[in-house]
Amino acid sequence: MTLEAVVQGEFHASPRDAKNLLERDTSTADALFVEGRSATIQLDSYTHGYVLFLLGYLTLELIYLTSDWVYGLIPGCGWDAREEAERRDLVIEDEIDAELHEVWYLAQGETRRRLYYLAVAAVAYALLNPFIGSPVFGMIPVGLSSVIIACLTPLGFSAGVVILAVGGEGIRDDIMSESILETAEDKGYEEILVLCGQGHVEGIEQELEDAGWDVERNDSTHPLTSAGIWI
């Protein structure tokens, strides 16, 4: 029995890579695995750091929703990967990533503490800046720059926790790979498609190959991924 997988890297804020994956012949594929987690946010920790982390995650989700809305306004650019997968009768497995509370606990350590202190300092600066009167973004008024800093701080903190405290060791790669392999074995999938952030492609590819899968790797074609920007 030959086990085959196509791993497609994605720039999350653009439909380009998902479209590249699903425009291929998918007639023999059993399922589409998508980097994602359940929609339920578990509030098992009420620390300031965890709340700030969740605010950053929700900010990122808002960016994705806004991006989808903007693409939908552009003629010929509106495209929904889920609708296309369902149209092709592909089973969608989209809860393969670590849950938010799991990411938070995986990230505990010195890096997370330093990121939190930086975030607190940024918020404090944003609050005090109107009284200091020091412009931060050139011609942008002091008050507005403070609002910008306050809004971006949770996003920066959340991204830092995910990328620096967890992503650097490939922990999420392992979690997603394990989820893919377990689900494929339980449901008897022999040919699968995997859509994940470009930063996870190499790790997932290696794990699947180690488990005996023949893997076709396709990196993201979005220009920003070549600059190391993965959103």
Residues 189-203: tens digit of each pLDDT: 999 999 999 989 999
The full set of domain ranges for the chain reads 4-227
> What per-residue confidence (pLDDT) applies to 137?
52
pLDDT at residue 66 tops 80: yes
Residue type, 113: R
Higher pLDDT, 162 or 229: 162
Average pLDDT rounded to a whole number, residues 31-58? 89
Residue 197 pLDDT: 92
Q: What is the pLDDT of residue 24?
A: 92
Predicted confidence at residue 98, as pLDDT, reads 92
Selected residue with higher pLDDT from 46 and 104? 104
Q: How confident is the model at residue 139, as a pLDDT?
A: 56
> For residue 132, how many other CB atoms are within 10 A of its CB?
10
Rounded (10°) CA dihedral 93, 98, 99, 103:
-160
- 15-19, 25-29, 163-167: least confident range: 163-167
Helix or strand run (H / E) with residue 194 = strand 191-197
What is the helix, strand, coil percentage profile of the chain, to 5? Answer: 60, 10, 30
Tell me: the pLDDT tens digits for 71-129? 777 776 667 888 899 999 999 999 999 999 999 988 888 989 999 999 999 988 888 77
pLDDT of residue 130: 67
Q: What pLDDT score was predicted for residue 20?
A: 93
pLDDT > 90? residue 45: no
Q: Average pLDDT for residues 51-60, to the nearest whole number?
A: 92
Half-sphere exposure of 60 (CA within 13 A, CB side): 19
CA distance linking residue 205 with residue 226, whole number of Å: 19
Q: Is the pLDDT of residue 158 over 90?
A: yes
Q: How far apart are CA 105 and CA 118, in angstroms?
A: 19
Provide the greatest CA pair distance for the chain: 69
pLDDT at 136 over 60: no
Does the pLDDT value for residue 219 go beyond 80? Answer: yes
